[in-house]
Amino acid sequence: MISFEKHILPNGLTVLAHYDASTPMVTTNIMYKTGAKDEDPEATGFAHLFEHLMFEGSVNIPVFDTPVIHAGGENNAFTTNDITNYYITLPANNIETSFWLESDRMLGLNLTHGKLETQKRVVIEEYRQRYLNQPYGDIFLLIRPLAYKKHPYMWPTIGKDISHIEKADDLTVARFFKDHYVPENAILSAGGNIKPDEVFRLAEKWFAPVPARKRKISNINSEPAQNEKRVMTVNREVPANELLMAFHCGRRTDRDFYVLDLLTDMLAGCESGRFSNVLVREKKLFSEIDTYLTGETDPGLVIISARLRDGVDISIAEAAINEQLQRLCNEPASDYELDKSRNRYESHNLMAMTSASNKAFNLAFFEMLGDASDINSESDKYMSVTKEEIMETARKTFNPENSSVIYYLAAKR
Amino acid sequence: MSKLNRKKQPHTITPSAGIIPEPVKVMLNEDVAVYLVGTGTEDLLRIEFVFDAGQVEEKLQMTASTTNEMLTEGTSRHEAIELNEAIDYTGSVFTPVVDKDNAGIVIITLLRTIDRVLELAAEVLYNPSFPENEFGMQIDRKYQQYLTNRQKTSVVSREIFYNTLFGESPYGRITTPEDFRTITTNAVREFHSRYYKSGRLYITVAGKDPERALPSLEKYFSGHRTDNNNKIALNTFPEKIKPLRHFSEVPESVQSSIRIGWRGVCKDHPDFNGLQVANTILGGYFGSRLMKNIREDKGYTYGIGSVAGSLRYGGFISVITDVANQYREETIEEIIKEINKLKKREASGEEMMLVRNHMMGDLARAFDGPFAVAEALRGVLDAGLSMDYYRKLEETVKTISPGKIKELVNAYYNPDEAIIVIAGAK
C-alpha cells in the first residue's frame, strides 16, 4: 500500500506527494504526457531529441546540471512512445533546487542553434550505438512498422528515419515545446523524506506562476484489427538466427494486460517457464527465449523473441512456439503454475517498492494512465486472474492473423 | 508575497555522505561471517553468498564462470527442471554472479519463504551435480554469446585492453574458440569442490529484518566447515607495460570503441581515493571535462567516461568511449589534450567544489536503501576493507587539494605511456 496525497494547481499541473521517512533523499519526478506517439509522422524522434534539449539550460538558468550537483543530487530522463519522464534525486534538505529547475524549464528553454546542432549529433551517435553497432540491434526498428500500419506506435522513440533528426530545425523544435511542455500536460510527483504539505508549498511557490497554456491535442490514428499474418525476412551478419513474433493486445489499463502479464511469465518469465522447460531444455530448439508486453497506453503488443540453436530450422522453431501457444488456448493452466506466477508477481512488486524514486515514478505513471490510486489495486487485479481468463485471452491474442513475424537470419559468409 | 528570484538557486546545504551504516557481524560455526544490514521498508531480504571462487583462481579459461552458471542446473537432490520449479515457486530470484575475484549467488526473497529459500540455496551452493546434458547446453549457449560478442566493438577493445595490462594471467587472458572444446564437467566439478568452501565464504543479508534469516542460515550453512581458505597470490602480470597503440578490425561497424589507459592501484593503496577525485574531474560524471568536450561541445559521442578501478591484485585506469569512425583520431587527440591540461594546471576552486559535492551526493546515495548498502558493503569486503573505507573516502573528497590532484594525474595519467586500443571498421 502506497500512501500519497494529490493536489491540482490552477494552471492544471497535477502534484502528487509520497512520504517515506526511511530514506534521507527525495526524488522529484516530472512526467510529460508526450512521447513518440505525439509526433508528426514527418518529424519523428522529436520527443526524444527534446529530452536531450531539456538539459541545455532554461530561461533563467544557463546550465541545468551544475545546480543539481552543487546540491548533491543526480538527474536523468527517458522517453517512451507515450511519455517523457525527468527525475532529480536530492538530499531532502536541498529539494527546493529541483522545484526551481523544473519550473524554470517548464517556463521556457534557452535554446540556441549551436546547442541544437550538437544534440542532433549526439542523438545520431546514440542511434548508431544502440541500434546499428549492436548485433541484432536493428530488430526493434523493424518490428514496429511491421505490426502497426496506422497508429504512431509504428515508429520507435529514436524516430522512423534518422534523417528526421538530421533535418530538425529551430522553429519546429520551438513549436514542439509550445505544444507539449505545458502545466496541464505534466504530473509532478515527489517521493521520499518530505511531508506532503511541504511538497505542495514548494509546488505552489515555483509552479503556480507558470502560465496555463493549452496543450496541442495529438491526432492519433487507431490501429485497425489485423486480419492477415505479416512476415518479414532479413539477412544480417550475425552468428545465429533469431525469431521475433508480435501479437496485438489491449491497453496497459485493460484487463487483458494483467492476464497476459501472468501468462507470459508462465511461458518465459523465469527459468522454469514452459518455453524454458519444453523448448530450451527438452527439445533443444533455442538458446534463449523471452516474452514480454510493451504495456503502452494505447493497444500494445505481446512480443516473443527467441535465439535459435545452431542447425535448427526456423519453421520448426516457429511451429514449436505456436504449439505451446495453442496449449494455452486449449488446456487450463495448473493451480500450481498460476500460484507460481502470483508468488513471483508478489516479490517483484515489492522489489519495485524498495526505492522512493521508483514509488514517485510509479505514482506519476498511474496518474498518467488515469488515477494514481490505481497503484494500490494492481495486486488485486493480478491475484484475481483465473484459468478461464487465461484460456480466453490466449485464444483472442494468439491467432496467426494477429501476428507479425520477423525471421532474422544469419547470412552465410 | 515577494517576487520570486528565478535567477538564483534556492539555499542549499553542502551535501554530506550522511550516516554510513555499520553492519552487524555474526559468525556461523566460527568460520562464516554474516553481515546484517537492517534497513528498508518492504518484507523482502537480499542475501548474497560470496566465495573466493572468481576467475583469478582458474587454470582453464571460463572454469569460474561455467561453474557458477551451472549451480542452478541440477543438484544431488533435484534435476534442473525440478530445481528451477522449486526456486521459482517461492517467488525468489537467484542470480549467479561471477567476476574476476569472486563468485556466488544473489538472492532476493520474500520474508515468508525464507526457510525454504535458504534450504535451496545450500543445495545449490554445496551440492550441485553438474549434469553432462545441461553442461553441453550451457557451453553451446556461451559459444553463441561469444560469437555475438566478436561483433561488438566494445567487447573486442575491452579484451585487448585487459590483455595488455594483465598479460596471460586470469585477469588478462582472452577466450578463444579452443577454450570451449577444452573445458569439461570434470574441470568444473574439481573447481567447485576446491573453491566453494565455507572457509572461503561470507554472507550479507540486507533488508527490513535481516535477523530473520539467521535461524535458517544456522540450520543450512553450519555443517560445511572446511579449512581451504588459502588465497592465491596472483603475480604473473607483466612487470612493465610498454606503451601501445592497437587497432582491431570489426568489419562494417559504424562506430569505433576506444580505450585509453594505464595500470592503476588497488583500493587499499594510499593514492586510490585521491585518484577517484582526479578521475571524476576528467571523466567520472556528466559534467566531467571529457563529457563537456567530446559530447556536449563536439557531439562526437553519446557518452564518454573514465574509471580508476581496482581488482584484488591490481588496479587499472581507463577512458572509454564509442564514437563515429570518422571522429576517432580527433577524439583520441582531445582526450590526450584534456589529460595534459590536468597535468599542467590545477583545477579551479569552483570545479573542485562541484566535484566534491558530486562525490558526496554519490556517497550518500550509495547508502540509500538495503540493496545499495549491500552493494557498498561488498565493494569493501572484497578488497579486505571495512565500511571505514567510506569514511576515509569522504575525508579525501572533502580535503584533497588541487595541487595533490595535479600530482596524481602526473603520476598515473601519462599519455606517453598509455595503452590505446581501438576497435572498429578500417
The span from the first CA to the last CA of chain B, in angstroms, equals 65
Per-residue model confidence as pLDDT tens digits over A324-375 = 999 999 999 999 999 999 999 999 999 988 888 999 999 999 999 999 999 9
Q: CB distance A122–B81 less than 8 Å?
A: no
Q: In what order do the strands lie in the sheet with A242-248?
A: A230-236, A403-410, A242-248, A301-308, A286-293
Q: In what order do the strands lie in the sheet with B93-98?
A: B24-28, B32-38, B201-207, B44-51, B103-110, B93-98
Rounded alpha-carbon distances, angstroms, from residue B299 to A114, A117, B287: 11, 8, 14
**DSSP result, A105-157:** HHH-B---HHHHHHHHHHHHHHHIIIIISSTTTTHHHHHHHHH-SSSGGGS-T
| Chain A, nearest residue to B135 by Cα | A281
Distance CA B252, CA A237 (A): 9
Local structure of residue A36 (DSSP, 8 states) = G
Three-state DSSP class for residue A275 = helix
Q: How confident is the model at residue B234 (pLDDT cuts 50, 70, 90)?
A: low
**Residue range A48-74: mean pLDDT, rounded:** 95
Q: What's residue B41's pLDDT?
A: 84
Q: What's residue B232's pLDDT?
A: 63
Distance CA B221, CA B381 (A): 20
Q: Which residues contact B166 (CB under 8 A, 6 or more apart)?
A: B172, B237, B238, B314
Q: CB distance B362–A74 less than 8 Å?
A: yes
The span from the first CA to the last CA of chain A, in angstroms, equals 56
- How far B222 CA lies from chain A's nearest CA (Å)? 27
Per-residue model confidence as pLDDT tens digits over B257-276 = 999 999 999 999 999 999 99
Distance CA A199, CA A202 (A): 5
Size (chain B), residues: 426
Q: What's residue B252's pLDDT?
A: 86
Which sign, positive or negative, has the C-alpha torsion B2, B4, B7, B9?
positive
The reported pTM is: 0.94
pLDDT exceeds 60 at position B1: no
Residue pair B35/B183 in contact by the 8 Å Cβ criterion: no
Three-state DSSP class for residue A302 = strand
Q: How confident is the model at residue B222 (pLDDT cuts 50, 70, 90)?
A: confident
- How far A159 CA lies from chain B's nearest CA (Å)? 16
A35 forms bridges with which residues in the sheet? none
Distance CA A280, CA A317 (A): 11
Residue pair B52/B102 in contact by the 8 Å Cβ criterion: yes
Q: CB distance B15–A129 less than 8 Å?
A: no
Q: Is the Cβ of B323 closer than 8 Å to some Cβ of chain A?
A: yes
pLDDT exceeds 60 at position B186: yes
Q: CB distance B6–A353 less than 8 Å?
A: no
> Which domains does chain B show, CATH number per domain?
24-221 (3.30.830.10), 244-424 (3.30.830.10)
Q: Is B178 exposed, middle or buried (0-12, 13-18, 19+ CB in 10 A)?
A: exposed
SS3 sequence, B244-307?
A: EEEEEECCCCCEEEEEEEEEECCCCCCCHHHHHHHHHHHHHCCCCHHHHHHHHHCCCEEEEEEE
Instruction: Note the maximum CA span of chain B.
Output: 78
Q: How confident is the model at residue B228 (pLDDT cuts 50, 70, 90)?
A: low
Q: How confident is the model at residue B238 (pLDDT cuts 50, 70, 90)?
A: confident
CATH classification code of A230-410: 3.30.830.10
The amino acid sitting at A360 is: A
% of residues, chain A, pLDDT over 70: 100
Rounded alpha-carbon distances, angstroms, from residue A30 to A4, B172, B406: 16, 45, 40
Chain A / chain B CB contacts < 8 angstroms: 207
Rounded alpha-carbon distances, angstroms, from residue A125 to B68, B148, B272, B316: 36, 21, 33, 27
**Residue range B307-312: mean pLDDT, rounded:** 95
pLDDT exceeds 70 at position B2: no
Domains A5-207 and A230-410 share a fold: yes
Q: Is the Cβ of B287 closer than 8 Å to some Cβ of chain A?
A: yes
Give domain limits for chain A: 5-207, 230-410
Per-residue model confidence as pLDDT tens digits over A176-204 = 999 999 999 999 999 999 999 999 999 99
State the angle between helix axes of B272-279 and B349-365 in degrees (0 to 180), rounded to the nearest 10.
110
- Please give the helix or strand (H or E) that residue A28 lies within, else none: strand A25-32
Work out the mean pLDDT of chain B and round it to a whole number: 94
How many helices, marked H, and strands, marked E, lie in chain A? 15, 11
pLDDT exceeds 80 at position A174: yes
Three-state DSSP class for residue A249 = coil
Q: What's residue B405's pLDDT?
A: 98
Q: What's residue A354's pLDDT?
A: 84
Residue pair A245/A401 in contact by the 8 Å Cβ criterion: no
Q: What's residue A413's pLDDT?
A: 52
Tell me the H-state helices in A255-373: 255-264, 274, 314-330, 335-352, 356-369
B259 forms bridges with which residues in the sheet? B320, B421
Distance CA B125, CA A378 (A): 36
Neighbour count for residue B145 (Cβ, 10 Å): 14
Can you read off the three cell numbers belonging to residue B228?
581451504
pLDDT exceeds 60 at position A233: yes
Work out the mean pLDDT of chain A and round it to a whole number: 95
CA A383 to chain centre: 24
| Chain A, nearest residue to B321 by Cα | A129
Q: Given the DSSP bridges, would you call strands A403-410 and A230-236 parallel, antiparallel or unpaired?
A: parallel
Closest by Cα among A2, A18, A14, A125 to A367:
A14
State the angle between helix axes of A387-397 and A335-352 in degrees (0 to 180), rounded to the nearest 10.
80
* Chain B contact set for A94 (CB, 8 A): 12-13, 15
Residue pair B300/A122 in contact by the 8 Å Cβ criterion: no
List the single residue in A65, A96, A354 with the smallest CB-CB distance to B44. A354
Per-residue model confidence as pLDDT tens digits over A240-279 = 999 999 999 999 999 999 999 999 999 999 999 999 999 9
Superfamily grouping for domain A5-207 = Metalloenzyme, LuxS/M16 peptidase-like (3.30.830.10)
Q: What's residue B237's pLDDT?
A: 77
% of residues, chain A, pLDDT over 90: 93
* Chain A contact set for B357 (CB, 8 A): 69-72
**Bigger pLDDT: A262 or B239?**
A262
Distance CA B10, CA A141 (A): 43
Size (chain A), residues: 413
The interface pTM score, or ipTM, of the predicted complex is: 0.92
**Residue range B45-60: mean pLDDT, rounded:** 95
Neighbour count for residue B236 (Cβ, 10 Å): 13
Distance CA A117, CA B322 (A): 19
pLDDT exceeds 80 at position B236: no
Distance CA A91, CA A68 (A): 10
* Chain A contact set for B139 (CB, 8 A): none
- How far B225 CA lies from chain A's nearest CA (Å)? 31
Per-residue model confidence as pLDDT tens digits over A389-402 = 999 999 999 999 99
Distance CA B221, CA B175 (A): 35
* Chain A contact set for B142 (CB, 8 A): none
Can you read off the three cell numbers belonging to residue A70?
552543487
Q: Is A169 exposed, middle or buried (0-12, 13-18, 19+ CB in 10 A)?
A: exposed
Q: What's residue B225's pLDDT?
A: 61
Distance CA B21, CA B107 (A): 21
Q: What's residue A241's pLDDT?
A: 97
Q: Given the DSSP bridges, would you call strands B32-38 and B201-207 parallel, antiparallel or unpaired?
A: parallel
Residues 109-148 of B with CB under 8 A from A: 109-110, 113, 134, 137, 140-141, 144, 147-148
The amino acid sitting at A301 is: L
Q: What's residue B227's pLDDT?
A: 59
pLDDT exceeds 80 at position A166: yes
| Chain B, nearest residue to A22 by Cα | B40
Local structure of residue A58 (DSSP, 8 states) = B
Q: Is the Cβ of B4 closer than 8 Å to some Cβ of chain A?
A: yes
* Chain A contact set for B110 (CB, 8 A): 343, 346-347, 350
Q: What's residue B314's pLDDT?
A: 92
Tell me the H-state helices in A222-334: 255-264, 274, 314-330
Residues A123, A124, A129: CA angle, nearest 5 degrees: 95
Per-residue model confidence as pLDDT tens digits over A290-336 = 999 999 999 999 999 999 999 999 999 999 999 999 999 999 999 99
**DSSP result, A160-214:** S-THHHHT--HHHHHHHHHHH-SGGGEEEEEEESS-HHHHHHHHHHHHTTSPP-P
Per-residue model confidence as pLDDT tens digits over B343-387 = 999 999 999 999 999 999 999 999 988 999 999 999 999 999 999
Residue pair B363/B390 in contact by the 8 Å Cβ criterion: yes
